[in-house]
Amino acid sequence: MTGPAPTPWDHPAPERAGLPSAWSLFPEDLEAMGCPGSAAETFRRLHRPWTWQEGAPVLGSAIRAWLEGVADLHLPGIAERQPSGDGSTKLALELEDGKRIEAVHMPRRVRNPRVTYCISSQVGCAMGCTFCATGGMGIVRNLQSGEILSQVLVLMAALGPQRGHELTLVFMGMGEPLHNLDNLHRAIRLLCHPLGLGMGRGRITVSTSGLVSGIEKLAMMVPRPNLALSLNATTDEARSRTMPVNRVWNLARLRQALDNWGPRHGERFCFEYVLLAGENDTEADAERLAQWLGELRRGHNLNLIPMNEHAGSTFREPGDDRVQQFSDWLKARGCFVTVRRSRGRDVQGACGQLVKERPAP
C-alpha cells in the first residue's frame, strides 16, 4: 500500500529531550519559565553576538545552569568556510543532529559595514526545481526557529557585521521558506525584537518558488518581510516542467496572490528570473514576462540571474550577449531590470547551487 507523498511537515527537526532551543524563546517565554534573573537581559545576551566571547553568549553561572535545565543551548558549528574571489564566503554549518546547511556571507564591496547573508530555512528542499542543486537533494527536514536564528548569530559572531542594523537577510539558501512558515515567522519576529538584533522588517526578504498558500498566509502576518518570487518561466507548460510547484499553483493563480498581497508604502516585490540558455531566453519569453508582470513591471525589481551551472543539471548559462539582449527586450517593454551575477559562483555558493552532504568518511 502506498501512502501520501511525504511533505516537509513530516520532517520535523529534533528537539533535544523535548527542550526548546534557547534561541527560539522570547523574553516573555523566559519570564514565564521562571528565569531567575532579568529575562530581558538574558534575551539580550543570547541575541547580541557582539557581546559574546569565544563564539558563545556570556551568561552568569546561575542563569546558565537554569537555562541548561529548561532549554537547549546548542549552537550550529562552522564546519567549512570557502572564501570566494569576489569577497563573499560560503559556510557550511553543522546542526546538532549532524545535518548540514549552507549560508553565504556577502559584504558590500567598498568601505561599507553592511553585509547581506543568504540563509537556509530547511535541510534540502521538497520543491524539486530542475535547475537547482538543492532541489536534487529532496527534503531532509525543516529548521526550527532557534536553528534559523542561531544560524544568523553564529555568522555574525564569526564574520560580522557588528550590529543588526548593518545586516540584510535573504532567505534564498537551502529550502522553500514558505514550506516552513511557522518556524520562519517566529525567527523573523525574534530577529526584529528590539532587545535582540532589532532588524527592520524591510531588511528581510523571503524568496519563494510560488507556494501560493504560503504567500497568502505570510501576507497577513506581522511583521511582514519583503517578498521575492522566483519566476523563471513564462508559460505554464514550461514552468511546470522546471518548477513542479506550478502544477498546483499556475502563473495566473500566482499573479492573483500578488495582487492580493497589496504592497504597502515603500514595499517592493523582487522578481527573480534565472536565465536558462535555449529554455526561457527568447524575445517571446520577454514579451510574455512583461505581460504577466503588467503594472508590477514599474517600481518592482526584476533580477535576471544567468544560470549557475552545476554538475547536477543539464541547463546551461546563456552567453553575455543573450543576457544583455534579454535585458534590453524587457527594458523596451517598461520593466525595471537588473542583471545579477550571483556572488560566490566559484565556490558553488550562488543561487541554485547550495547543496550540502556530509563528506563521505
CB of 211 to ligand SF4, least distance (A): 8
120 contributes a contact to ligand SF4 by CB under 6 A: no
- Report the candidate in 263, 166, 264, 257 with the shortest Cα–Cα distance to residue 209: 257
Task: Tell me which amino acid residue 316 is.
Answer: R
- Report the candidate in 155, 151, 166, 165 with the shortest Cα–Cα distance to residue 121: 151
209 contributes a contact to ligand SF4 by CB under 6 A: yes
Question: Are 21 and 71 spatial neighbours (Cβ–Cβ below 8 Å)?
Answer: yes
- Nearer to ligand SF4 by Cβ, of 176 and 309: the residue is 176
257 contributes a contact to ligand SF4 by CB under 6 A: no
Binding segment toward ligand SF4, per CB under 6 A, in 48-56, 93-101, 120-128, 158-166: 120-128
The active-site residue out of 35, 102, 192, 279 is 102
C-alpha 230/C-alpha 210 separation (Å) is 7
What distances in angstroms separate CA 126 from CA 32, 46, 205, 300, 360, one per listed residue? 36, 32, 20, 28, 23
The radius of gyration of the chain from alpha carbons, rounded to an integer in Å, stands at 21
Q: Is residue 351 annotated as part of the catalytic site, yes or no?
A: yes
Question: Which of 176, 272, 281, 309 is in the footprint of ligand SF4 by CB under 6 A?
Answer: 176
Question: Which of 127, 228, 286, 307 is in the footprint of ligand SF4 by CB under 6 A?
Answer: 127
Binding segment toward ligand SF4, per CB under 6 A, in 97-105, 124-132, 195-203, 280-288: 124-132
Query: Could you count the other beta carbons within 10 Å of the beta carbon of residue 16?
Result: 13
DSSP state letter for 188: H
According to DSSP, the β-strands at 115-118 and 167-171 are parallel
Question: Are 168 and 233 spatial neighbours (Cβ–Cβ below 8 Å)?
Answer: no
Write out the three cell numbers for 176. 522553500
Q: Within its chain, how far is the Cα of 59 from the centroid?
A: 30
350 contributes a contact to ligand SF4 by CB under 6 A: no
CB of 133 to ligand SF4, least distance (A): 7
Q: Which of residues 132-171 bind ligand SF4 (CB under 6 A)?
A: 132, 134-135
Task: Tell me which amino acid residue 121 is.
Answer: S
- Nearer to ligand SF4 by Cβ, of 176 and 285: the residue is 176
Binding segment toward ligand SF4, per CB under 6 A, in 7-15, 126-134, 276-284, 303-311: 126-134
Q: Is residue 94 annotated as part of the catalytic site, yes or no?
A: no
The active-site residue out of 192, 283, 351, 357 is 351
Query: Catalytic residues, which ones?
Result: 102, 351
Q: Which residues bind ligand SF4 (CB under 6 A)?
A: 125, 127-129, 132, 134-135, 175-176, 209, 230, 352
